[in-house]
Structure 1
């Protein structure tokens, strides 16, 4: 923690806040994309994308899960963030990014006992039903975490597609949805193609 504190204390000395790049941040934020990914500390959206301050709006939670849209009755940080990004910030792209070595998807894949983590268990219930096609076909000695993570990305894109604002904006060609799979060990980013397969760009 001391190292983090020291870097925070020296931040204003390490950054040129008089530069145009930082001065414009005071005026407001105008991000290009909403980036939905896992809370895992090894997944750093700005590092992966090379984004500068103000370029991406982030939504992070265990398993990069998008809870279903439920009218006006279900308030959540996820729904509020999506609504704000689309209706106020006017982002033109949304990325749902899963990753290798995902603890949340690993818990589902291996049927981990989460009785001591009841809120985590309840949260993952959003994702479990849609993952059964992969889990039911997996061998017990090879639970195929990669396939589970990638299916989860597809599923969350489908859920996102049920949000009224997403339906409207994609219909008007003002919003694009993207699925990514990030490999922690290699840094490779696999993009979901129109044919439903994840490929490293250019391969």
Structure 2
């Protein structure tokens, strides 16, 4: 017997018996109405990060894509799932805001600091090149001005800021921003503290959401 599958099925049963009955009308509306999310949330695939819970968003409000290290490849470099999600969210769904959200204790950032940890995972190793520039910046800052803080924390911040730069190389994003129809921001989620810090577009520092 697959214990993990049974655990998942148990969760489905609880959803059906405890959650769904109180939200049946919302599900019925969602089934017949097209989705109109206001935000695209680009998060890490880390199982400890739950975008809908974090933003306390209702069904249909947030369009989510996740990957290792909350990466956004610059347009044209690695056209694939992330690029397709961005293009669809901006062009078809017409989201009004995009979040790139990093988090504390990120395994992808740890792998950047310890490349040997992914030497047997060539696909992961290749994917992490999307954050190479962030590593260079973080190491320089850590040596010169940020030596009081952990390099991992500095790197996590710089990675979010770098991915925001990459995001704006996508034609759909650049066009919507030029028309004043779209804004972007970078987030940092401290898992242990349940705390979110945000850097608005153009800002280099993150401000805690009180």
- TM above 0.5: yes
Would you tell me which structure has more helix in proportion to its own residues? 2
Structure 1 190/77 Cα, relative in aligned 2: closer, same or farther at 3 Å? same
Q: 2:10 matched to 1:6?
A: yes
State whether structure 2 residue 132 is matched by structure 1 residue 116.
no
TM-score by length of 1: 0.90
Q: Give the number of aligned pairs.
A: 200
Aligned partners of 1:135 and 1:143 also within 8 Å: no
**Aligned alpha-carbon RMSD (Å):** 2.2
Q: Which runs of 5+ in 2 are unaligned?
A: none
Q: Please state how far the C-alpha of 1:44 moved relative to its aligned partner.
A: 0.6
Consecutive unaligned residues in structure 1, runs of 5 or more: none
**Structure 1 position 74, deviation (Å):** 5.1
Choose the corresponding residue for 1:199, options 167, 182, 207: 207
Query: Could you tell me how far apart the structure 2 residues matched to 1:33 and 1:20 are?
Result: 23
Query: Is the alpha carbon distance of 1:117 and 1:92 closer, same or farther for their aligned partners in structure 2, counting shifts above 3 Å?
Result: same
Q: Does 1:188 align with 2:195?
A: yes
CA distance in 2, matches of 1:98, 1:75: 21
What TM-score, normalized to structure 2? 0.87
Matched, 1:148 2:137: no
Q: 1:29 corresponds to which residue?
A: 35
Query: d(CA) in 1 for partners of 2:116 and 2:170?
Result: 31
SS of alignment partner, residue 190 of structure 1: strand
Secondary structure in 2 matching 1:89: coil
- Paired position in structure 1 for 2:91: 87
- Measure, in 2, the Cα distance between the counterparts of 1:41 and 1:69: 27
